[in-house]
Structure 1
Amino acid sequence: MAIAERDSAFEPGRELIHRLAAGDESAARELYVSHCDALFRFVRRRCSLSIEDAEEIVNDTFLAALELASGFELRCSVMTWLCSLARNRIVDHLRKVGAAKRIPDGEFVRIDDASRKALREVHDPNVSVEHIVERLDRVRLVQALLNSMTADQREAVTMRYVEEFSVPEIARIMNRTPNAVERLLERAKIGPRREMLKWLGNESFRALCFDLLSL
């Protein structure tokens, strides 16, 4: 089930945070059990962290939630709030290890050499579009397209089309305005289109690639 669907019922989550702010220990356990797995996946998608580092960030996020529960605003779901806290902890972690960027280029989404070679070969006029679709794994194809985006564009696209956050939720997590997020998503179309024009000669296949990204 998508993250956005899991958190569609906001009110119970908000009531949980109010209990947490009041010092209810059972609320802390409920918050962890109901959101731990999804938050771990959110953290692991952001960069090439080890499982241990990702688990540490998740635990730090829940500790921060305990401290900040009294300031929880009613403008977003609990999951969106936790993701915004986790994102800040990822920033702190990357700074500690000397990362130059919040999400290092080439590590947010990884694609192997075999996939790159396959993508370059699909322009062969003797190979049908149907055969190409059978040969290429959809996930690798989307990874290749994402790899042509900037770090912020990849993050926005992943949250919008993979994790199914709404634009206002993405704005909250990325600390941007909804209009700024919309511009990121719009600009994210340019890089993949340029890359596909370089790699591929089949218009139908290019259209299929963009359908996979839902752009």
Structure 2
Amino acid sequence: MLNDSAGDASDTEPADHVLVRRVRLGDRSAFDAIIHRHGPGMYRFAIRMVGGDRTDAGEVVQEAFISAWKNIETFEARSSLRTWLFSLVSRRAVDLQRKRRPTPVADDFLAAVAPPANRDPLQDVMDKELVAALQAALAELPHQQRAVWLLRELEEMSYDDIATTLAMTPDSVRGQLHRGRRNLAERMAQWR
């Protein structure tokens, strides 16, 4: 069976384009399938964009899904469904950030970037300090650089998908990622 979803569906699950078609016909169970397939990744991205606040992340994802339900007719499949849904999350996170001050990214998500500790207490302390430094450095990045870095480095999206998600060109994504990496490298220089 040909499957054009984000790769999360098995051979027995309908592809994203089939689910979209069913949702457009009013099939709520198809929308539930979309939620189960793409919701976890959307939530991971949202929680990183809102600084680890689970309530805010849940609100952002909920609003994105409400928008997706109401506007499924506008999805033209020029990008993947996953990319479209992530763009909705990104917009809702930006709206939330405009209302509030920037917040840091939660430590548990950045811990994956730090090397694992070998149960050495000194190493544990250094790892926690590294994660805290990375969290602070990410919080200082401009929103676009932070979003591009998170989507590329943690969600492993392609440049084209990031461009679509954030309404940018792939060249702008490369530029923002380059500047974001450079800014992070400068802020993290003491950890080299």
Normalising by structure 2, we get a TM-score of: 0.72
- Report the Cα distance in structure 1 between the residues aligned to 2:163 and 2:76, rounded to whole angstroms: 15
Deviation (angstroms), 1:14: 1.7
Q: Which residue of 2 aligns with 1:24?
A: 27
1:191 aligns with 2:183: yes
- TM-fit CA distance, 1:148: 5.1
Check 1:133–1:190 CA distance in 2 against 1; reply closer, same or farther (3 A cut): farther
> 1:80, 1:30 → 2: CA distance?
16
The offset of 1:9, in angstroms, is: 6.8
**AA of the residue aligned to 2:105:** V
Corresponding residue SS for 2:26: coil
Task: Tell me which moved more, 32-41 or 161-170.
Answer: 32-41
Alpha-carbon distance in structure 2 between the residues aligned to 1:196 and 1:44: 23
Distance 2:171 2:122 in 1: 37
Aligned in 2, Cα 1:33/1:142: closer, same or farther, shift over 3 Å?
Answer: same
Answer yes or no: is 1:80 the counterpart of 2:83.
yes
Q: What are the ranges of 5 or more consecutive residues in structure 1 without an aligned counterpart? A: 1-5, 112-130, 207-215
Measured in 2, the distance between the counterparts of 1:56 and 1:30 equals 19
TM-score using structure 1 length: 0.66
What is the number of equivalent residue pairs in this alignment? 169
Residue 150 of structure 2: aligned partner: 158
Name 2:113's counterpart in structure 1.
none
Aligned to 1:68: 71
Could you tell me how far 1:17 is from its partner in structure 2? 1.0
The structure that has the greater radius of gyration is 1
The letter of the residue matching 2:176 is L
Bigger RCO of structures 1 and 2 (CA < 8 A, at least 6 apart)? 1
1:146 aligned residue (133, 138, 142): 138
CA deviation profile, 1:93-141 (whole Å, cap 9, x unmatched): 344xx33xxxx44x14367xxxxxxxxxxxxxxxxxxx98675216445
CA distance in 2, matches of 1:89, 1:177: 20
Deviation of the 1:78 alpha carbon: 1.8
CA 54–191 in structure 1, closer or farther in 2 if over 3 Å, else same: closer
Name stretches of at least 5 consecutive residues in structure 2 with no aligned partner: 108-120
